[in-house]
Amino acid sequence: MQQFKHLLLFIYFISGFTAAAQSDVAVPLYEDFASFQKSVLQPESNQVRLINFWATWCKPCVKELPYFQQLHEKYPELPMVLVSLDKKADAKGRIARFLAQRNITIPVVVLADGRANDWIDKVSPEWSGSIPATLVYNRGDQKFFETDFESMEAIEATIDIQSLIKNKQ
């Protein structure tokens, strides 16, 4: 019993320690769509990139994160970014912890501009505003997917990843 107590204390200590270490990790926060567009989206830049809009509270978004992670590991040369639509305060540590716990290493930013009606069309006129949603830039060509994916293979097939990889080279 005493040993068990010690073990519990030990686990408590370790988990508290890791949580504390990670809680300092802030992710870039954009409270204004214009600055997000300029620094992250860069729609005019002739880029190749995959941008996934998600939130910690969105179950289908969280479910598909590992599939995007698998894609990230398979094609490390493909630039990807996760855009969290969580609260501003979550950028300070919660998002980084949430992703670390799930071994997600794709770069992430938080977009917390509440005036969604003003900017949803600027991401894509095709977007109604539901998440998950994925935007793909392929050298001036733009595709938008307001859907969730069931596997990494489904992402590869639907988004035509090979074309992105070819154009990235």
Partner 1 sequence: MSLTIITGMLISLFTLNAPLAPTALKPGDTAIDFKLKNVDGKMVSLADFKSAKGFIVVFTCNHCPYAKMYEDRLIALNDKYSKMGYPVIAINPNDPTAEPEDSFDEMKKRAKSKGFKFPYLFDEGQKIYPQYGATRTPHVFLLNAQRIVKYIGAIDDNPNDASAVKAKYLEEAIASLQAGKEIIPNVTKALGCSIKVKKA
* Beta strands across the sheet bearing 29-30: 29-30, 108-111, 80-84, 48-54, 133-138, 141-145
From residue 79 to residue 118, what is the string marking binding to partner 1 with x (rule CB under 8 A)? ------x-x--------------------------xxxx-
**In the complex, minimum distance from the CB of residue 155 to partner 1, in angstroms, rounded to a whole number:** 15
**In the complex, minimum distance from the CB of residue 119 to partner 1, in angstroms, rounded to a whole number:** 9
Q: Are 107 and 38 in contact (CB under 8 A)?
A: no
Choose between 2 and 128: whose C-beta lies nearer to partner 1: 128
Note whether 63 binds partner 1 by CB under 8 A. Answer: no
With H, G, I as helix, E, B as strand and everything else as coil, classify residue 8: helix
Note whether 132 binds partner 1 by CB under 8 A. Answer: yes
- Residue identified by tokens 């060509």 is 141
From residue 7 to residue 46, what is the string marking binding to partner 1 with x (rule CB under 8 A)? ----------------------------------------
Buried b (16+ CB within 10 A) or exposed e, 129-154: eebbbbbbbbeeeebebbebbeebee
| Structure-token pair, residue 108 | 């992430």
Q: Nearest 5°: phi and psi at 134? A: -130, 130
- What type of residue sits at position 72? H
**In the complex, minimum distance from the CB of residue 113 to partner 1, in angstroms, rounded to a whole number:** 10
**In the complex, minimum distance from the CB of residue 5 to partner 1, in angstroms, rounded to a whole number:** 37
Which segment (24-32, 36-44, 65-73, 143-151) binds partner 1 by CB under 8 A? Answer: 143-151
**In the complex, minimum distance from the CB of residue 104 to partner 1, in angstroms, rounded to a whole number:** 20
Note whether 143 binds partner 1 by CB under 8 A. Answer: no
> How many C-beta atoms surround the C-beta of residue 80 within 10 A?
19
Q: How many residues bind partner 1 (CB under 8 A)?
A: 22
CA dist 30 and 26 (Å) reads: 12
Instruction: Summarize as ranges the residues that interact with partner 1 (CB under 8 A).
Output: 57-60, 85, 87, 114-117, 120-121, 127-132, 146-148, 150
